[in-house]
Amino acid sequence: MTAFVTSLGGKLAERWLAALMLPGVVFVCVAAIAVELGQAHWAEPALLRSAVDRFAASPAAHSNGAIALIALATVALAVAASALA
């Protein structure tokens, strides 16, 4: 019985995480875009494109460690945003 309850709890946590992860990631990405563009330039995709190009040209974009840290931070912020919601 204990193994059944443990597996049920694990699956429940897995489904909860999957259900809340996508909206959290979308929220974090939209918040990052809002911080980058600001209130005055929210409807200018050329500015966002240039920011992405600047990041792609930076040394951090070519470092596996930096990319892993960015991905980990995005997931952690998404989980935190979903938990707070």
Q: Is the pTM of this model over 0.75?
A: no
Question: In this structure, what are the phi and psi dihedrals at residue 38, rounded to the nearest 5 degrees?
Answer: 80, 175
pLDDT at 46 over 90: yes
Looking at residue 63, its amino acid is S
Q: Give the CB-side neighbour count of residue 16, counting CA atoms within 13 A.
A: 9
Identify the pLDDT of residue 23.
84
